[in-house]
A = this chain, B = another copy of it.
Amino acid sequence: MPIIDVSGIDRLHHDAVNALAVQMREHGLRRDEPVRSTFGLLGDRWSTLIILVLGMGTWRHAELRRVLGRLGSEERISQRVMTLKLRVLERDGFVCRHVTQDVPPRVSYSLTPLGNALLSEVHRLIDWVNERADTIRMARAAYDAMED
């Protein structure tokens, strides 16, 4: 019994499509489930950078913001977006938020063990792409040149 309606889909692909459909329904490939949301983190403008910086240790809010701005060349992260991204990372268990009871309060952020594990995956993926960066750049040049 097919999981998805395969009418109009090449017979050769029926089984494979159904297997993927099962994976999507049962193994969290839907939006807002861990797989998609984590992939989303990797792709957004700041989350991966935040994880890389927090990989160096614990940071105060203000310092973290400064260094993110400096790393991203001229671009700065707005206070609003940084808080937003840190909240999501904290909610998913990648980032830990420490607050002292001083006035004004001192807030600092660091990676959890889960966050450090994600950092390893990020590093692995960065290395993977870098090993192929020239291939990609050449493919781009070839494609752009072919556009007559």
Chain A, range 112-136, C-beta contacts under 8 Å to B? 114, 117, 121, 125-126, 128-130, 132-133, 135-136
Contact B35 A133 (CB under 8 A): yes
Q: Which of B6, B9, B56, B125 contacts A13 (CB 8 A)?
A: B56
List CB contacts (< 8 Å) of A34-75 with chain B: 34-35, 38-44, 48, 52-53, 56-57, 59-60, 63, 66-67, 70-71, 73
Q: What is A's interface to B at a CB cutoff of 8 Å?
A: 4-6, 8-10, 12-13, 16-17, 20-21, 24, 27-30, 33-35, 38-44, 48, 52-53, 56-57, 59-60, 63, 66-67, 70-71, 73, 90-93, 114, 117, 121, 125-126, 128-130, 132-133, 135-140, 143-144
Quick one: copies of this chain in the complex?
A: 2
Q: Are B140 and A91 closer than 8 Å at their CB atoms? A: yes
